[in-house]
Amino acid sequence: MKRSDAESLAANMNNRKVQQYLNMTIDPYTAEHARKWINQTHRLAREDRGYHFGIQPASMDEAVGCIGLKNLNRESLNVELGYWIGERYWKQGLMTEAVSLILGFVFDTLKFHRVYAIVHSGNLGSVRLLEKSHFVREGIYREAHRTGSKWHDVYFYGLLKREWKDTQSKPR
């Protein structure tokens, strides 16, 4: 991500629908929040503790979302995936493309063994995205999340390097 992405990232993150499944409630989410976060992602990358990439539609000059790796475990070679994109860009296949690209980075470049994602069961877009990207639902934390008076299950999804390699040799 570029520091000049801050305004665009803030405009897209300043949305309850984008924040709700990221367990965030920053209202308003400002360019200053985005600047701090971009600086933090740069620091994480310098320290080899996290890698975050801006998602920029081909027709634009600024990022409108982000995909990133955190909780890098160098012993087990496991890493956690997270992502978000501005609401006006949903359902255009952008995150499917971003996930496909980052998986090459996870397995071929960084040589991890397994990548996982933790998803609120009500997040139908994220569930579909992961299943479409060949992640396997490995487990359910029952009623592990609460919004107001309602409890929600949380899904754990994972993808192993060998499973990913298999998908590379087969057409979708």
Ligand X SMILES: CC(C)(COP(=O)(O)OP(=O)(O)OC[C@H]1O[C@@H](n2cnc3c(N)ncnc32)[C@H](O)[C@@H]1OP(=O)(O)O)[C@@H](O)C(=O)NCCC(=O)NCCS
Q: Please give the residue ranges that form the binding site for ligand X (CB under 6 A).
A: 18, 21-22, 83-85, 90-96, 117, 119, 123-126, 128-129, 132
Least Å distance, CB 80 to ligand X, is 10
Least Å distance, CB 63 to ligand X, is 13
At 160, list the tokens: 């192993």
Residue whose beta carbon is closest to ligand X: 125
Task: Map residue 114 onto helix, strand or coil.
Answer: strand
Please report which helix (H) or strand (E) contains residue 122, including its range.
none
| Residue nearer to ligand X on the CB measure, 4 or 92 | 92
Least Å distance, CB 154 to ligand X, is 10
| Residue nearer to ligand X on the CB measure, 74 or 93 | 93
Q: Which residue has the tokens 């309850």?
A: 16
Task: Map residue 20 onto helix, strand or coil.
Answer: helix
Least Å distance, CB 46 to ligand X, is 25
What is d(CA 82, CA 57) in angstroms, rounded to the nearest whole number? 19
What is d(CA 165, CA 107) in angstroms, rounded to the nearest whole number? 9
| Residue nearer to ligand X on the CB measure, 102 or 117 | 117
Q: β-strands 114-120, 78-85: how paired? A: parallel
| Residue nearer to ligand X on the CB measure, 51 or 84 | 84
